[in-house]
Amino acid sequence: MTTNAYLALDVADETSWFKSSYSGDNNGGGCVSIAVLTNQVGIRDSKQANGPAFVVPAAAWSAFVDMVR
């Protein structure tokens, strides 16, 4: 699987990014934001909104989420 890094705003506009409802302030702000794209998912550090983002295939993201659950 190939994983590419881009600047977050090159991946998706700011309104496309969201954090999990499980994210809270008690974790020191350490959280990721996700942008669901057509066949891919963008992943970025919530504290660095303009920083790098990884883009992975949607199937890989889905498999990751299933394993975490």
Residue spans of the domains in the chain: they are 4-68
Q: What phi, psi does 50 have (nearest 5°)? A: -95, 0
pTM above 0.85, yes or no: no
pLDDT digits (tens, 9 = 90+) for 18-63: 887 766 666 566 788 999 988 999 998 888 888 888 899 999 999 9
One-character DSSP codes across 15-34? GGEEE-TT--GGGTT--EEE
Q: Go through 27-53 and write b for each residue having 16 or more CB atoms within 10 A of its CB, e for each that does not.
A: eeeeeebbbeeeebbbbbebeeeeeeb
pLDDT above 60 (res 1): no
DSSP state of 57: E
Choice between 11 and 66, residue whose per-residue pLDDT is larger: 66
pLDDT above 70 (res 4): no
